[in-house]
C-alpha cells in the first residue's frame, strides 16, 4: 500500500495538485465571504417569497443542499434543491430561484433558468461566467460572480457562502458572519492538526479513514435534520475524487427499511464498511437509533466507523464533516493510484451528449 506520509508518493498521483485546493479551502471561504459581503441586493429582490428553489447540478448543487439543511428552519419557508431541466410546478412569481452553475454552461441549469423566466420567478444567479451570466445580465437579473478555473466540486466555498450571505441581505435569515468566521478558523485547525498532508497517519483522521475504506464499499449514514447534505457530499467526493462507488442514507428512515437488508448479498457484505456521521445537534432519538444500528451491523461482521462533527455552532459542525470527507476522498484516490482531479467519464459523457 502507498505510504500516505510520503509526500513524494502522493505527488506522483496528485498531478493536478488537488491537495493544494483542499488545503487552501479556508482561504477560499474567506474570499467567498468577501464576495458575498460586496453583493448589493436590488430592491426588487427583497420580497415575501412562498418558497426558494436552488437549481444546479453536481458541485454547483451541493451548496443548495447545505443551505437547505442549515437555514430551512430559520427561513420559515420551504427550500428545495432542483437537479433537472425543469423546475417544480409550484414555482411562480412568488418564488425565488437561485441559479447555481459554476461554469455557467450546464445545460440542465440553463434550461431551468429559462423555465424560471417563463414562470416569472425572481432570479439570482451565482456563476463564474458562461451562458448563465450572459442570460442573467441580458434579462436584468442580479448575478454574483465567483472566480473561475476550479473543478466545480472544489468551489463549494464560492457556491455556498455568497448564497448564504445573500439570504441575510434579502432579510430571510440573521447575519451569519460569526458562524462563517468560525468555519474558516475551524477548517484551518482541522487541516493543521487532523487532515493535512504533513499530519502523520497515526494522528490523521482522514488518512486513517481512507486506509480503512480502501478496497471496501463505503456506506455513509447520517441524521436527516442537518447532516443529510453532508452524506450527499461524501458520496459525490468519493465518486469524483477517489473514483469509488458508495451509497448513503439517513436516519430515521434507515430503520424502517434498509436495516433489514444487511444480510445479502452474503458474499459481498464482508467487503462493506459503514461510516456514521454524528453531530451534537442530532435528535436524542436519532442518536439512540445510531447506537442500535451500529451494534446490529457489527453483529454481521461489518466494520462501523463513527465520525463526529466539531465546532460550537451548526454551520462549523456541518463544514467540519464536509472537510474531513473531502480529505478522505483525496487520500483514498492516492491509495487507489488515481489522480483525484480529472473526471474523464463526465467529460466523455458531455462530449457524447453534445453530438445529439
CB 100 within 8 A of CB 109: yes
CB 3 within 8 A of CB 323: no
Which residue from 178, 192, 220 is spatially nearest to 305, judged by alpha carbons? 220
Which residue from 335, 221, 344, 353 is spatially nearest to 276, judged by alpha carbons? 221
In 3-state terms, what secondary structure has residue 104? coil
- Residues 6 or more apart whose Cβ sits within 8 Å of residue 273: 212, 213, 216, 217, 218, 219, 302, 303, 304, 305
Among all residues, which ones are annotated catalytic? Answer: 240, 256, 350
DSSP category for residue 80: E
Which residue from 209, 222, 155 is spatially nearest to 330, judged by alpha carbons? 209
In 3-state terms, what secondary structure has residue 82? strand
Q: For residue 49, how many other CB atoms are within 10 A of its CB?
A: 20
- Residues 6 or more apart whose Cβ sits within 8 Å of residue 209: 275, 305, 307, 324, 328, 331
CB 104 within 8 A of CB 76: no
Q: Residue 320: exposed, middle, or buried by beta-carbon count in 10 A (0-12, 13-18, 19+)?
A: buried
Which residue from 202, 190, 241 is spatially nearest to 218, judged by alpha carbons? 241
CB 4 within 8 A of CB 207: yes
Grid coordinates of 333: 484516490
Amino acid at each position: 500500500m502507498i505510504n500516505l506520509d510520503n509526500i513524494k508518493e502522493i505527488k506522483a498521483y496528485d498531478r493536478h495538485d488537488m491537495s493544494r485546493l483542499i488545503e487552501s479551502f479556508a482561504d477560499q471561504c474567506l474570499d467567498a465571504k468577501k464576495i458575498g459581503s460586496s453583493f448589493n441586493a436590488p430592491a426588487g429582490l427583497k420580497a415575501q417569497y412562498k418558497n426558494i428553489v436552488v437549481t444546479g447540478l453536481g458541485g454547483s448543487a451541493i451548496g443548495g443542499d447545505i443551505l437547505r439543511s442549515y437555514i430551512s428552519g430559520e427561513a420559515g419557508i420551504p427550500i428545495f434543491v432542483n437537479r433537472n431541466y425543469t423546475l417544480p410546478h409550484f414555482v411562480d412569481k412568488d418564488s425565488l430561484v437561485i441559479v447555481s452553475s459554476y461554469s455557467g454552461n450546464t445545460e440542465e441549469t440553463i434550461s431551468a433558468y429559462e423555465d424560471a423566466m417563463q414562470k416569472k420567478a425572481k432570479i439570482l444567479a451565482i456563476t463564474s461566467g458562461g451562458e448563465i451570466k450572459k442570460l442573467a445580465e441580458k434579462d436584468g437579473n442580479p448575478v454574483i460572480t465567483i472566480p473561475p478555473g476550479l473543478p466545480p466540486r472544489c468551489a463549494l466555498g464560492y457556491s455556498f457562502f455568497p448564497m448564504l450571505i445573500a439570504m441575510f441581505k434579502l432579510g430571510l435569515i440573521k447575519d451569519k458572519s460569526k458562524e462563517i468566521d468560525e468555519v474558516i478558523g475551524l477548517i484551518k485547525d482541522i487541516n493543521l492538526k487532523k487532515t493535512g498532508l504533513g499530519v502523520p497517519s497515526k494522528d490523521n483522521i482522514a488518512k486513517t479513514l481512507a486506509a480503512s475504506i480502501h478496497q471496501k464499499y463505503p456506506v455513509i449514514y447520517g441524521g436527516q435534520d442537518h447532516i443529510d447534505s453532508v452524506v450527499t457530499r461524501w458520496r459525490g467526493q468519493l465518486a469524483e475524487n477517489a473514483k469509488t462507488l458508495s451509497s448513503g442514507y439517513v436516519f430515521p428512515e434507515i430503520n424502517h427499511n434498509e436495516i433489514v437488508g444487511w444480510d445479502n448479498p452474503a458474499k459481498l457484505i464482508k467487503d462493506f464498511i459503514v461510516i456514521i456521521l454524528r453531530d451534537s445537534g442530532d435528535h436524542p432519538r436519532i442518536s439512540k437509533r445510531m447506537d442500535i444500528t451500529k451494534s446490529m451491523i457489527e453483529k454481521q461482521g461489518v466494520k462501523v466507523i463513527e465520525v463526529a462533527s466539531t465546532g460550537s455552532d451548526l454551520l462549523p459542525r456541518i463544514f467540519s464533516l464536509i472537510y474531513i470527507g473531502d480529505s478522505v476522498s483525496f487520500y483514498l484516490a492516492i491509495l487507489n493510484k488515481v489522480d483525484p482531479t480529472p473526471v474523464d467519464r463526465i467529460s466523455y459523457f458531455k462530449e457524447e451528449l453534445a453530438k445529439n
